Chains A and B, each alone.
Chain A
């Protein structure tokens, strides 16, 4: 059963990767990265059970915690064009 789950996850990873290549908009790519991160979390959990080391679940949990940081940073850069605080950005004038 875990083998089937791993195969399914690999297929999903490949399709998410294809979406990240093809785009066409930046939101498709950001979504692809988010999906890929989630699949990595699941893959680590499945590999842990597949190889009889369920303690990998802790690693998967930490991945899930840090997964969204990059996505939020990317969305912020795309929306405001700057990674600093929004207030200092308004003072300097937002570049569109």
Chain B
């Protein structure tokens, strides 16, 4: 059942991504990207990573949607029709093919002898609960073993938020002066 769920969710994810590329109305695109983020969060839940899913839902479906809507409100609601550029198209196709070729040398998903499974993974699984006291192993890795990493991410997100607030405040002040 879980596998079928994965496939259907991935299918809906691909459909949403195509919809985001095809649609021209930017508010609709923002709505679809919210759906995309909810789908990714569902996939994280199926993969037993509820904390990552919570972050994805809060940042992707919550904060990012509002930031993008703010951008749409400040700029325009319709995407301009882009000119077809053969060179850019070629670069994108070649890069995509190289990436697909690169995945052929990766170990299959969930393989027992994959480097991700034999390096530090077993120690996290066997000693994680005694060392950290966190029942969910993904949470233990995120919040305890990679605590400094997560702290750095929080700093990045905070500075990004402060930057956006400064941009919006600067614009509003300029608008107020123009009004007077």
A is bound by B: yes
* Chain A residues close to B by CB (< 8 Å): 3, 6, 10, 13-14, 17, 20-21, 23, 26, 29-30, 32-33, 36-37, 40, 43-44, 47-48, 50-51, 53, 56, 59, 62-63, 66-67, 69-70, 73-74, 77-78, 81-84, 88, 91-92
* Chain B residues close to A by CB (< 8 Å): 1-2, 5, 8-9, 12, 15-16, 19, 23, 25, 27-28, 30-32, 34-35, 38-39, 41-42, 45-46, 48, 50, 53-54, 57-58, 61-62, 65-66, 69-70, 72-73, 168, 172, 175-176, 179
Instruction: State the main secondary structure of chain A at its contact with B.
Output: helix
Please tell me if the beta carbons of A29 and B28 are within 8 angstroms of each other in the complex.
yes
Q: Which residues of A contact B16 (CB under 8 A)?
A: 17
Which residue of A23, A36, A51, A56 contacts B35 across the interface (Cβ within 8 Å)? A36
Please tell me if the beta carbons of B50 and A26 are within 8 angstroms of each other in the complex.
no
Q: How many A-B residue pairs have CB under 8 A?
A: 117
